[in-house]
Amino acid sequence: MDDTEAQTAPVPTQATPARRRWFRFSLRTLLIFVLLAGSGMGLCWRWQPWAVVYVLKGHTAALCGIAFSPDGKRLATAGSDKTARVWDIKAQKEVLVLRSFHDSVCSAEFSQDGRRVITQELDWYREEWDIVTGARLAQEAPDLVWRSAHEVTSHDGSRTVCWGEDSFDVVLTDGRSRATLATLSGHTGKIRNVLFSPDSARILSYSEDKTGILWDSETGAQRAVIGGHASQIHSAEFSRDGTRIVTSGCEDWTDRVWDAKDGAALAVLPKPAGQLHLGATISSDGRMIASAGDEHTVRVWSRRRPEYWWGVAWLHEFWLTVAFAVAFVWSVWRDRKTL
Protein backbone atom coordinates (compact mmCIF):
# COMPACT_ATOMS: atom_id res chain seq x y z
CA MET A 1 0.00 0.00 0.00
CA ASP A 2 1.59 3.32 -1.08
CA ASP A 3 1.48 6.57 0.76
CA THR A 4 -1.36 7.93 -1.46
CA GLU A 5 -3.67 5.02 -0.59
CA ALA A 6 -2.82 5.33 3.06
CA GLN A 7 -3.80 8.97 3.05
CA THR A 8 -7.09 8.39 1.17
CA ALA A 9 -8.29 5.35 3.20
CA PRO A 10 -11.38 6.20 5.21
CA VAL A 11 -10.96 6.34 8.93
CA PRO A 12 -13.48 4.02 10.67
CA THR A 13 -15.90 5.90 12.87
CA GLN A 14 -16.83 4.65 16.32
CA ALA A 15 -20.48 3.50 16.50
CA THR A 16 -22.70 5.43 18.87
CA PRO A 17 -24.22 2.97 21.34
CA ALA A 18 -27.97 2.56 20.99
CA ARG A 19 -29.99 4.21 23.73
CA ARG A 20 -31.37 1.63 26.13
CA ARG A 21 -35.06 1.39 26.67
CA TRP A 22 -36.19 0.90 30.21
CA PHE A 23 -38.88 -1.59 29.21
CA ARG A 24 -39.29 -4.06 26.36
CA PHE A 25 -42.54 -5.86 25.68
CA SER A 26 -42.27 -9.64 25.80
CA LEU A 27 -44.73 -12.50 26.02
CA ARG A 28 -43.25 -13.58 29.33
CA THR A 29 -43.73 -10.13 30.84
CA LEU A 30 -47.32 -9.98 29.60
CA LEU A 31 -48.08 -13.43 31.03
CA ILE A 32 -46.73 -12.54 34.46
CA PHE A 33 -48.63 -9.25 34.44
CA VAL A 34 -51.89 -11.05 33.58
CA LEU A 35 -51.32 -13.58 36.38
CA LEU A 36 -50.59 -10.76 38.83
CA ALA A 37 -53.70 -8.82 37.83
CA GLY A 38 -55.81 -11.99 37.86
CA SER A 39 -54.67 -12.87 41.36
CA GLY A 40 -55.53 -9.43 42.67
CA MET A 41 -58.88 -9.34 40.87
CA GLY A 42 -59.78 -12.82 42.11
CA LEU A 43 -58.94 -11.79 45.65
CA CYS A 44 -61.13 -8.69 45.46
CA TRP A 45 -63.98 -10.46 43.67
CA ARG A 46 -64.21 -13.20 46.29
CA TRP A 47 -64.10 -10.77 49.22
CA GLN A 48 -67.32 -11.28 51.15
CA PRO A 49 -67.04 -9.69 54.58
CA TRP A 50 -70.35 -11.20 55.81
CA ALA A 51 -71.43 -14.81 55.45
CA VAL A 52 -74.02 -17.08 57.11
CA VAL A 53 -72.19 -19.25 59.63
CA TYR A 54 -75.03 -20.64 61.77
CA VAL A 55 -78.68 -21.54 61.10
CA LEU A 56 -80.95 -22.07 64.13
CA LYS A 57 -84.21 -23.99 63.72
CA GLY A 58 -86.82 -24.82 66.34
CA HIS A 59 -89.67 -22.31 66.24
CA THR A 60 -92.84 -23.51 64.56
CA ALA A 61 -94.17 -20.09 63.57
CA ALA A 62 -92.89 -16.64 62.59
CA LEU A 63 -90.23 -15.05 64.77
CA CYS A 64 -91.08 -11.61 66.15
CA GLY A 65 -88.03 -10.63 68.20
CA ILE A 66 -84.36 -11.48 68.53
CA ALA A 67 -81.44 -10.30 70.70
CA PHE A 68 -77.83 -11.19 71.49
CA SER A 69 -76.59 -11.78 75.03
CA PRO A 70 -74.03 -9.21 76.28
CA ASP A 71 -71.14 -11.66 75.66
CA GLY A 72 -72.40 -12.51 72.15
CA LYS A 73 -72.50 -16.26 72.83
CA ARG A 74 -76.26 -16.70 73.08
CA LEU A 75 -79.41 -15.55 71.36
CA ALA A 76 -82.89 -14.96 72.71
CA THR A 77 -85.77 -15.31 70.26
CA ALA A 78 -89.47 -14.60 70.53
CA GLY A 79 -92.06 -16.30 68.33
CA SER A 80 -95.71 -16.23 67.45
CA ASP A 81 -95.78 -19.92 68.44
CA LYS A 82 -96.14 -18.63 72.04
CA THR A 83 -92.57 -19.57 72.98
CA ALA A 84 -89.35 -17.75 73.72
CA ARG A 85 -86.06 -19.60 73.31
CA VAL A 86 -82.44 -19.17 74.34
CA TRP A 87 -79.80 -20.56 71.98
CA ASP A 88 -76.16 -21.50 72.23
CA ILE A 89 -74.97 -19.98 68.95
CA LYS A 90 -71.81 -21.99 68.41
CA ALA A 91 -73.47 -25.32 69.30
CA GLN A 92 -76.55 -24.34 67.23
CA LYS A 93 -78.95 -25.74 69.82
CA GLU A 94 -81.62 -24.59 72.25
CA VAL A 95 -80.58 -24.35 75.87
CA LEU A 96 -83.94 -23.09 77.16
CA VAL A 97 -87.52 -23.04 75.88
CA LEU A 98 -90.09 -20.86 77.69
CA ARG A 99 -93.70 -21.88 77.02
CA SER A 100 -95.95 -20.38 79.73
CA PHE A 101 -97.37 -17.54 77.64
CA HIS A 102 -100.94 -16.41 77.02
CA ASP A 103 -100.26 -14.99 73.55
CA SER A 104 -97.60 -14.61 70.88
CA VAL A 105 -94.28 -13.37 72.23
CA CYS A 106 -93.29 -10.20 70.41
CA SER A 107 -89.90 -9.48 72.01
CA ALA A 108 -87.16 -11.14 74.04
CA GLU A 109 -83.96 -9.57 75.33
CA PHE A 110 -81.25 -10.22 77.89
CA SER A 111 -80.66 -8.26 81.05
CA GLN A 112 -77.43 -6.28 81.32
CA ASP A 113 -75.75 -9.06 83.31
CA GLY A 114 -76.93 -11.73 80.85
CA ARG A 115 -78.51 -13.87 83.56
CA ARG A 116 -82.15 -13.12 82.81
CA VAL A 117 -84.40 -12.87 79.77
CA ILE A 118 -87.15 -10.23 79.58
CA THR A 119 -90.07 -11.07 77.31
CA GLN A 120 -93.15 -9.17 76.21
CA GLU A 121 -96.31 -10.77 74.86
CA LEU A 122 -98.66 -9.39 72.26
CA ASP A 123 -101.16 -8.69 75.07
CA TRP A 124 -98.44 -6.47 76.68
CA TYR A 125 -97.61 -8.75 79.60
CA ARG A 126 -93.91 -8.43 80.48
CA GLU A 127 -92.08 -11.26 82.25
CA GLU A 128 -88.60 -11.88 83.56
CA TRP A 129 -87.00 -15.34 83.46
CA ASP A 130 -83.94 -17.05 84.89
CA ILE A 131 -81.97 -18.46 81.93
CA VAL A 132 -80.51 -21.32 83.99
CA THR A 133 -83.65 -22.75 85.59
CA GLY A 134 -86.31 -21.24 83.32
CA ALA A 135 -88.18 -19.98 86.39
CA ARG A 136 -90.39 -16.91 86.06
CA LEU A 137 -88.92 -14.24 88.35
CA ALA A 138 -91.38 -11.41 87.78
CA GLN A 139 -94.47 -10.51 85.81
CA GLU A 140 -95.79 -7.07 84.97
CA ALA A 141 -99.42 -6.62 83.98
CA PRO A 142 -100.15 -4.43 80.98
CA ASP A 143 -101.16 -0.82 81.26
CA LEU A 144 -104.69 -0.94 79.85
CA VAL A 145 -104.92 2.83 79.39
CA TRP A 146 -104.90 3.60 75.66
CA ARG A 147 -102.10 5.93 74.70
CA SER A 148 -102.29 7.98 71.53
CA ALA A 149 -98.56 8.86 71.68
CA HIS A 150 -95.33 6.92 71.97
CA GLU A 151 -92.50 8.01 74.23
CA VAL A 152 -88.86 6.95 74.60
CA THR A 153 -86.31 8.28 77.11
CA SER A 154 -82.55 8.32 76.52
CA HIS A 155 -80.31 5.99 78.50
CA ASP A 156 -78.96 8.82 80.64
CA GLY A 157 -82.42 10.31 81.20
CA SER A 158 -81.51 13.71 79.76
CA ARG A 159 -83.74 13.59 76.67
CA THR A 160 -87.16 12.27 75.74
CA VAL A 161 -88.78 11.87 72.34
CA CYS A 162 -92.46 11.41 71.62
CA TRP A 163 -94.58 11.01 68.51
CA GLY A 164 -98.21 10.35 67.68
CA GLU A 165 -99.69 7.23 66.16
CA ASP A 166 -100.01 8.86 62.71
CA SER A 167 -97.28 11.48 63.09
CA PHE A 168 -94.57 12.26 60.53
CA ASP A 169 -92.58 14.28 63.09
CA VAL A 170 -90.87 13.60 66.43
CA VAL A 171 -90.84 16.02 69.36
CA LEU A 172 -87.61 16.24 71.38
CA THR A 173 -87.98 17.35 75.00
CA ASP A 174 -85.79 17.77 78.05
CA GLY A 175 -85.93 14.58 80.08
CA ARG A 176 -86.23 16.42 83.38
CA SER A 177 -88.11 19.65 82.79
CA ARG A 178 -90.18 18.24 79.90
CA ALA A 179 -89.61 21.49 77.99
CA THR A 180 -89.79 21.14 74.20
CA LEU A 181 -86.35 21.51 72.62
CA ALA A 182 -87.00 20.81 68.93
CA THR A 183 -89.32 19.20 66.43
CA LEU A 184 -87.58 16.61 64.28
CA SER A 185 -89.10 17.00 60.81
CA GLY A 186 -87.92 15.22 57.69
CA HIS A 187 -89.93 12.05 57.21
CA THR A 188 -92.65 11.77 54.59
CA GLY A 189 -94.32 8.71 56.12
CA LYS A 190 -95.68 7.65 59.51
CA ILE A 191 -93.05 7.15 62.19
CA ARG A 192 -92.56 3.48 63.03
CA ASN A 193 -90.10 3.83 65.90
CA VAL A 194 -87.45 6.05 67.47
CA LEU A 195 -84.41 4.96 69.49
CA PHE A 196 -81.39 6.48 71.18
CA SER A 197 -77.77 5.44 70.69
CA PRO A 198 -76.11 3.78 73.71
CA ASP A 199 -74.30 7.03 74.61
CA SER A 200 -77.57 9.02 74.18
CA ALA A 201 -75.80 11.40 71.76
CA ARG A 202 -77.79 10.41 68.67
CA ILE A 203 -81.38 9.62 67.82
CA LEU A 204 -82.51 7.30 65.05
CA SER A 205 -86.03 7.53 63.68
CA TYR A 206 -87.44 5.40 60.88
CA SER A 207 -90.77 5.56 59.13
CA GLU A 208 -92.97 4.15 56.38
CA ASP A 209 -91.10 6.28 53.82
CA LYS A 210 -88.37 3.55 53.69
CA THR A 211 -85.73 5.77 55.33
CA GLY A 212 -84.13 6.36 58.69
CA ILE A 213 -82.78 9.68 59.93
CA LEU A 214 -79.99 10.28 62.43
CA TRP A 215 -80.41 13.32 64.68
CA ASP A 216 -78.26 15.10 67.25
CA SER A 217 -79.92 14.65 70.63
CA GLU A 218 -78.58 17.95 71.99
CA THR A 219 -79.71 20.28 69.22
CA GLY A 220 -82.15 18.21 67.20
CA ALA A 221 -80.10 18.83 64.05
CA GLN A 222 -80.30 16.25 61.28
CA ARG A 223 -77.00 14.38 60.86
CA ALA A 224 -77.62 11.80 58.13
CA VAL A 225 -80.32 10.03 56.15
CA ILE A 226 -80.26 6.24 55.93
CA GLY A 227 -81.77 5.22 52.62
CA GLY A 228 -81.44 2.06 50.56
CA HIS A 229 -84.27 -0.25 51.51
CA ALA A 230 -86.86 -0.91 48.81
CA SER A 231 -89.59 -1.34 51.43
CA GLN A 232 -90.33 0.18 54.79
CA ILE A 233 -87.86 -0.52 57.59
CA HIS A 234 -89.35 -3.04 60.01
CA SER A 235 -86.73 -2.78 62.76
CA ALA A 236 -83.49 -1.00 63.57
CA GLU A 237 -80.89 -1.36 66.30
CA PHE A 238 -77.65 0.25 67.43
CA SER A 239 -74.70 -1.98 68.29
CA ARG A 240 -73.77 -1.84 71.97
CA ASP A 241 -70.66 0.22 71.22
CA GLY A 242 -72.76 2.67 69.20
CA THR A 243 -70.66 2.44 66.03
CA ARG A 244 -73.04 0.43 63.83
CA ILE A 245 -76.72 0.32 62.98
CA VAL A 246 -78.48 -2.73 61.57
CA THR A 247 -81.84 -2.36 59.84
CA SER A 248 -84.24 -4.96 58.52
CA GLY A 249 -86.46 -4.33 55.50
CA CYS A 250 -89.89 -5.87 55.81
CA GLU A 251 -90.41 -6.87 52.19
CA ASP A 252 -87.16 -6.16 50.32
CA TRP A 253 -85.48 -9.32 51.70
CA THR A 254 -82.39 -7.59 53.07
CA ASP A 255 -80.77 -6.57 56.31
CA ARG A 256 -78.35 -3.66 56.06
CA VAL A 257 -75.45 -2.40 58.15
CA TRP A 258 -74.71 1.32 58.47
CA ASP A 259 -72.10 3.54 60.05
CA ALA A 260 -73.83 5.12 63.04
CA LYS A 261 -71.82 8.33 62.73
CA ASP A 262 -72.50 9.41 59.14
CA GLY A 263 -75.08 6.88 57.93
CA ALA A 264 -72.76 5.37 55.32
CA ALA A 265 -73.82 1.95 53.98
CA LEU A 266 -71.41 -0.81 55.06
CA ALA A 267 -73.04 -4.09 54.04
CA VAL A 268 -76.15 -5.67 52.55
CA LEU A 269 -77.17 -9.07 53.86
CA PRO A 270 -79.66 -10.80 51.51
CA LYS A 271 -82.25 -13.25 52.77
CA PRO A 272 -84.56 -15.70 50.99
CA ALA A 273 -87.00 -13.94 48.68
CA GLY A 274 -90.71 -14.20 49.33
CA GLN A 275 -90.38 -14.13 53.11
CA LEU A 276 -91.28 -11.30 55.47
CA HIS A 277 -88.28 -10.21 57.50
CA LEU A 278 -89.23 -9.18 60.97
CA GLY A 279 -86.05 -8.31 62.80
CA ALA A 280 -82.28 -8.23 63.03
CA THR A 281 -79.84 -7.70 65.85
CA ILE A 282 -76.11 -7.05 66.06
CA SER A 283 -73.67 -8.41 68.65
CA SER A 284 -71.90 -6.17 71.14
CA ASP A 285 -68.59 -6.33 69.24
CA GLY A 286 -70.29 -5.71 65.89
CA ARG A 287 -68.95 -8.92 64.35
CA MET A 288 -72.17 -10.96 64.19
CA ILE A 289 -75.69 -10.22 63.00
CA ALA A 290 -78.71 -12.43 63.56
CA SER A 291 -81.83 -12.08 61.42
CA ALA A 292 -85.28 -13.62 61.70
CA GLY A 293 -88.58 -13.63 59.86
CA ASP A 294 -91.66 -15.66 59.11
CA GLU A 295 -89.70 -18.65 57.80
CA HIS A 296 -89.21 -19.87 61.43
CA THR A 297 -85.40 -19.76 61.06
CA VAL A 298 -82.63 -17.65 62.55
CA ARG A 299 -79.59 -16.92 60.39
CA VAL A 300 -76.41 -15.77 62.07
CA TRP A 301 -73.99 -13.80 59.90
CA SER A 302 -70.36 -13.25 60.78
CA ARG A 303 -67.58 -11.09 59.44
CA ARG A 304 -65.07 -13.38 57.77
CA ARG A 305 -61.87 -13.32 55.81
CA PRO A 306 -62.11 -13.70 52.01
CA GLU A 307 -63.39 -17.05 50.82
CA TYR A 308 -61.22 -19.62 49.07
CA TRP A 309 -60.13 -18.86 45.51
CA TRP A 310 -59.02 -21.73 43.29
CA GLY A 311 -58.59 -23.81 46.44
CA VAL A 312 -55.92 -21.48 47.85
CA ALA A 313 -56.56 -19.93 51.23
CA TRP A 314 -56.42 -16.14 51.66
CA LEU A 315 -52.99 -16.20 53.24
CA HIS A 316 -51.64 -18.23 50.33
CA GLU A 317 -53.37 -15.87 47.92
CA PHE A 318 -51.53 -12.98 49.49
CA TRP A 319 -48.13 -14.61 49.11
CA LEU A 320 -49.07 -15.76 45.61
CA THR A 321 -49.76 -12.15 44.68
CA VAL A 322 -46.44 -11.08 46.21
CA ALA A 323 -44.63 -13.80 44.25
CA PHE A 324 -46.21 -12.64 40.99
CA ALA A 325 -45.23 -9.05 41.76
CA VAL A 326 -41.60 -10.04 42.41
CA ALA A 327 -41.54 -12.11 39.23
CA PHE A 328 -42.93 -9.21 37.22
CA VAL A 329 -40.32 -6.75 38.53
CA TRP A 330 -37.53 -9.29 37.92
CA SER A 331 -38.76 -9.86 34.35
CA VAL A 332 -38.75 -6.15 33.57
CA TRP A 333 -35.27 -5.74 35.10
CA ARG A 334 -33.93 -8.68 33.09
CA ASP A 335 -35.34 -7.25 29.85
CA ARG A 336 -33.69 -3.95 30.65
CA LYS A 337 -30.28 -5.60 31.19
CA THR A 338 -30.41 -7.50 27.91
CA LEU A 339 -31.08 -4.37 25.86
Write the CATH number for 287: 2.130.10.10
Residue 158, sorted as left (phi over 0), alpha (psi -120 to 50) or beta, turns out to be alpha
89 within 8 A of 75, measured Cβ to Cβ: yes
Indicate whether 18 belongs to any domain.
Answer: no
| Tens-digit pLDDT profile for residues 129-143 | 999 899 999 888 765
In degrees rounded to 5, what are phi and psi of residue 42? -65, -40
The tally of domains found in the chain comes to 3
Last residue of a domain, one of 227, 259, 279: 227
* Structural domain that includes position 138: 53-146+231-305
What pLDDT does 223 receive?
A: 94
| Tens-digit pLDDT profile for residues 53-107 | 898 998 988 888 899 998 889 999 998 889 999 999 999 999 999 988 888 888 8
With a cut of 70, list the residues of the chain below it in pLDDT: 1-48, 142-149, 272-277, 304-325, 327-339
251 plus 300 within the same structural domain? yes
133 within 8 A of 124, measured Cβ to Cβ: no
140 plus 239 within the same structural domain? yes
154 plus 188 within the same structural domain? yes
205 plus 335 within the same structural domain? no
Residue 228, sorted as left (phi over 0), alpha (psi -120 to 50) or beta, turns out to be left
Q: What is the pTM of this model?
A: 0.68
Three-state SS at 142:
coil
280 plus 327 within the same structural domain? no
Give the up-direction half-sphere exposure of residue 157: CA atoms within 13 A in the CB hemisphere. Answer: 2
What pLDDT does 12 receive?
A: 52
